[in-house]
């Protein structure tokens, strides 16, 4: 029984048959036929594709129908969002920003010292990176919650890759120059991607890959901190877990310094306790936020009183006083290190970008404000370019500090300005006081910070939802902890792409059945009640048909045919005389796809089976027509719906149902 046939008789619109560009069977639903969209010319086609690829966010939308003056203002505003929100700024907002800024400053200062160590540079460079870049970002960035500065993973990646080129202990000056060169190119990369609107490139790192990569990097960083935490002097420079654990155990008897161990673990316990408190009660987030600063103050005081540094407790010893010196003349503008710096910078810049954009988007969704990926990249890029000229290493958005910033009630990027000012003050006034800060406490602060990067909840969620994604996660994770951060990153990207290609190569070809009493056809695996139509094989191809899967799809269809034939013979059912391919999900088809469809048609014709096509989409029908496949198969074998096709091929089967 056909649901649609009842109303069909009343409804056949008389005007439709006069339209020219129709393809398909005349008996289609209510006189509707498969339509072939008017073919665009090549230029329009090309410009449409380009628009979707590069300008999908319609960046000029706001400029439409505006007076010239307004357009100019909007133009300035689009590069400097600060111009937009500064006019609405008020004391109430400033109160939130001030508290948030002070909180993240107290969190960032000890972290900066630690992250500078991860990058194998002196502590002041970490602080420099929390002074200049946040100011640039505040003017140019569109996120209201991002806290800018050096971050653990990027600093580790930078340190790891720089170390492979220059030994930071033997040639500290050249190492530093290469670090600034890399930072410069990180900025160029980020700004370049933004200006060229190639931001979509970072989408190729999947969420699962990022979760695995971050967890691996966190463990790697935490393990490296064992050096500081245990006071071990001879320690591997490799970052993989095997070498690090080997260093820890081979020093277990004579290499550890018990005073350091006591200080380190005491403060680690303190920091983790404050974190636990904060996670139990969200209102107490500030306890965890100021704990690192307290740990630094208390431990520095203790060491100063007891002079524990004379008993083998390592201390920071020296931080240069004063603000960022210029580093314009330090960057390698030529020579072999230019290319090496560029390579390192591109990698570090991309990772920094991925992190900042992900964090920015998360908070933008929470507060529902728009964030423009490409403009964001430009802001981050300019910030790192300026940073590289003022003695900074690569800066980006920090996940932990951004979260604190958000919870402390920041409302604009002014919190970054406040933080920057506090860092300025620190650089001018307080740095000498850090002299007695024990390295073990810095190590404890880094460990407690990076543990937050291990997202068990996300990993469990991924495991539950998508096993293949979980494999990508594990690949990135193990790549980082057993080899290195770069290898882990490479594994993450390759696995992410391989996952897409795998799905494109082996798409599903589903067997459809009729839902009783309707004209609807659905996958019999999903709908066990859906009934097959005798003599007709109805298949749905669940993917675009491309060169990479066209042959598989053809063979899979022939396999379905063979299996159904075997089944029919066993059950004494009639032979299959029609194969209906429902093409709704086929978004696109390429020349190889059309060719395989033609081959399928030939093979079926030889076997006296008629091929029918149901519901081809606009692109598909256009290409089938261009390739003259529609002529070869015959327009009467192209239907608007699978139901129409069945009604035509097996009218009796339907009536008996």
Residues numbered 184-223 forming contacts with its own copies, rule: CB under 8 A: 200, 203-208
| Structure tokens belonging to residue 388 | 């590289």
Residues 246-285 that bind its own copies (CB under 8 A): none
Residue nearer to its own copies on the CB measure, 262 or 358:
358
626 binds its own copies (CB under 8 A): yes
Find the helix packing angle between 336-367 and 485-505, rounded to 10°. 60
Residue nearer to its own copies on the CB measure, 576 or 624:
624
Q: CB–CB of 147/402 below 8 Å?
A: yes
What separation in angstroms does the CA of 520 have from each of 467, 537, 612? 31, 15, 17
Find the helix packing angle between 485-505 and 152-165, rounded to 10°. 110
Residue carrying structure tokens 């403009």: 375
> Rounded to an integer, what distance in angstroms lies between the CA atom of residue 590 and that of residue 294?
64
Using CB under 8 A, pick the residue from 236, 243, 548, 610 that binds its own copies: 548
| Structure tokens belonging to residue 288 | 């965890």
Chain centre distance of CA 151? 17
> Rounded to an integer, what distance in angstroms lies between the CA atom of residue 557 and that of residue 646?
18
Least distance CB 547 / its own copies (angstroms): 4
What separation in angstroms does the CA of 3 have from each of 239, 401, 614, 656? 67, 60, 18, 14
| Residue 210 burial by Cβ neighbours in a 10 Å radius (0-12, 13-18, 19+) | buried
635 binds its own copies (CB under 8 A): no
Determine the interface stretch with its own copies among 180-188, 237-245, 399-407, 621-629 (rule: CB under 8 A): 621-629
Least distance CB 4 / its own copies (angstroms): 4
Residue nearer to its own copies on the CB measure, 16 or 573:
16
What separation in angstroms does the CA of 581 have from each of 529, 539, 554, 615, 650? 20, 5, 11, 9, 15
Least distance CB 200 / its own copies (angstroms): 6
Using CB under 8 A, pick the residue from 29, 143, 181, 384 that binds its own copies: 29
640 binds its own copies (CB under 8 A): yes
Torsion of CA 220, 311, 108, 361, to 10 degrees: 10
Residue nearer to its own copies on the CB measure, 274 or 402:
402
35 binds its own copies (CB under 8 A): yes
489 binds its own copies (CB under 8 A): no
Using CB under 8 A, pick the residue from 58, 90, 329, 571 that binds its own copies: 58
626 CB neighbour count, 10 Å cutoff:
13
Residues 70-129 that bind its own copies (CB under 8 A): none
565 binds its own copies (CB under 8 A): no
> Rounded to an integer, what distance in angstroms lies between the CA atom of residue 478 and that of residue 476?
6
47 binds its own copies (CB under 8 A): no
Using CB under 8 A, pick the residue from 145, 240, 376, 469 that binds its own copies: 469
Determine the interface stretch with its own copies among 46-54, 229-237, 376-384, 437-445 (rule: CB under 8 A): 46-54
Residue nearer to its own copies on the CB measure, 11 or 636:
11
> Rounded to an integer, what distance in angstroms lies between the CA atom of residue 120 and that of residue 118?
5
46 binds its own copies (CB under 8 A): yes
- DSSP 3-state of 514: strand
Which spans in 307-433 are helix H? 336-367, 373-389, 399-407, 414-425
Least distance CB 519 / its own copies (angstroms): 7
Q: CB–CB of 388/190 below 8 Å?
A: no
Q: Output DSSP code: residue 582.
A: E
Residue nearer to its own copies on the CB measure, 88 or 368:
368
Residues 405-464 that bind its own copies (CB under 8 A): 461-462, 464
Determine the interface stretch with its own copies among 189-197, 423-431, 445-453, 551-559 (rule: CB under 8 A): 551-559
Residues 323-382 that bind its own copies (CB under 8 A): 361, 365, 368
1 binds its own copies (CB under 8 A): yes
Using CB under 8 A, pick the residue from 236, 250, 568, 584 that binds its own copies: 584
520 binds its own copies (CB under 8 A): yes
Counting residues that bind its own copies (by CB under 8 A) gives 103
Rg of the chain over Cα atoms, rounded to whole angstroms, equals 32
Residues 587-606 that bind its own copies (CB under 8 A): 587-588, 590-592, 594-595, 599, 602-603, 606
């Amino acid at each position: 029984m056909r649901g649609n046939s009842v109303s069909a008789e009343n409804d056949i619109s008389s005007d439709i048959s006069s339209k020219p560009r129709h393809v398909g069977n005349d008996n289609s639903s209510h006189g509707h036929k498969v339509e072939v969209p008017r073919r665009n010319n090549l230029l329009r086609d090309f410009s449409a594709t380009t628009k979707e690829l590069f300008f999908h966010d319609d960046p000029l939308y706001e400029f439409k129908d505006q007076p010239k003056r307004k357009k100019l203002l909007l133009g300035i505003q689009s590069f400097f969002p600060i111009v937009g929100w500064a006019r609405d700024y008020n004391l109430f907002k400033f109160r939130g920003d001030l508290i948030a800024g002070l909180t993240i400053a107290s969190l960032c200062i000890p972290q900066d010292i630690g992250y500078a160590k991860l990058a194998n540079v002196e502590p002041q460079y970490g602080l420099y990176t929390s002074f200049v870049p946040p100011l640039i970002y505040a003017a140019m960035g569109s996120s209201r919650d991002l806290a800018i500065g050096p971050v653990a993973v990027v600093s580790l990646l930078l340190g790891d890759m720089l170390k492979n080129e220059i030994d930071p202990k033997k040639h500290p000056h050249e190492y530093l120059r290469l670090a600034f060169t890399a930072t410069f190119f990180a900025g160029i990369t980020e700004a370049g991607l933004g200006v060229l609107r190639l931001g979509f490139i970072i989408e190729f790192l999947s969420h699962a890959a990022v979760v695995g990569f971050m967890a691996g990097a966190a463990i790697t960083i935490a393990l490296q901190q064992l050096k500081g935490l245990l006071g071990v002097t001879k320690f591997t420079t490799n970052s993989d877990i095997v070498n690090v654990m080997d260093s820890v155990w081979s020093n277990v008897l004579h290499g550890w310094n018990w005073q350091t161990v006591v200080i380190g673990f005491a403060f680690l316990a303190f920091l983790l306790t404050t974190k636990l408190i904060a996670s139990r009660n969200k209102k107490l987030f500030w306890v965890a936020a100021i704990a690192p600063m307290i740990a630094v103050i208390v431990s520095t005081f203790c060491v100063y009183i007891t002079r524990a540094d004379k008993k083998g407790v390592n201390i920071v010893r020296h931080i240069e006083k004063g603000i960022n010196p210029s580093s314009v003349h330090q960057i390698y503008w030529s020579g072999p290190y230019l290319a090496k710096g560029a390579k390192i910078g591109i990698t570090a810049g991309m990772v920094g970008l991925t992190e900042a954009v992900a964090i920015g988007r998360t908070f933008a969704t929470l507060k529902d404000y728009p964030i423009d990926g490409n403009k964001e990249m430009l802001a981050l890029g300019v910030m790192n370019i300026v940073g590289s000229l003022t003695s900074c290493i690569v800066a980006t958005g920090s996940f932990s500090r951004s979260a604190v910033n958000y919870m402390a009630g920041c409302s604009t990027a002014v919190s970054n300005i406040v933080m920057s000012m506090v860092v300025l003050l620190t650089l001018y006034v307080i740095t000498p006081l850090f002299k007695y800060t024990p390295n073990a406490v810095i190590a404890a602060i880094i460990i407690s910070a990076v543990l937050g990067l291990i997202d068990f909840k996300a990993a469990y969620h991924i495991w539950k939802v998508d096993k293949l994604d979980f494999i990508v996660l594990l690949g990135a994770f193990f790549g980082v902890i057993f080899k290195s951060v770069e290898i882990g990153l490479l594994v993450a990207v390759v696995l992410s792409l391989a996952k897409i290609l795998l799905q494109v190569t082996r798409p599903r070809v589903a067997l459809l059945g009729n839902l009783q009493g309707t004209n609807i056809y659905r996958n019999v695996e999903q709908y066990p009640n859906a009934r097959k139509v005798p003599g007709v094989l109805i298949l749905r191809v669940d993917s675009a048909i491309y060169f990479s899967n066209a042959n598989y799809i053809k063979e899979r269809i022939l396999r379905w045919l063979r299996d159904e034939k075997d089944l029919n013979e066993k059950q004494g059912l009639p032979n299959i005389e029609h194969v209906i391919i429902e093409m709704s999900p086929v978004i696109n088809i390429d020349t190889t796809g059309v060719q395989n469809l033609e081959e399928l048609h030939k093979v079926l014709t030889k076997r006296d089976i008629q091929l029918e096509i149901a519901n081809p989409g606009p692109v598909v029908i256009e290409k089938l027509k261009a390739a003259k496949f529609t002529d070869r198969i015959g327009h009467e074998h192209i239907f608007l719906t699978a139901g129409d096709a069945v009604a035509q091929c097996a009218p009796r089967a339907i009536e008996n149902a």
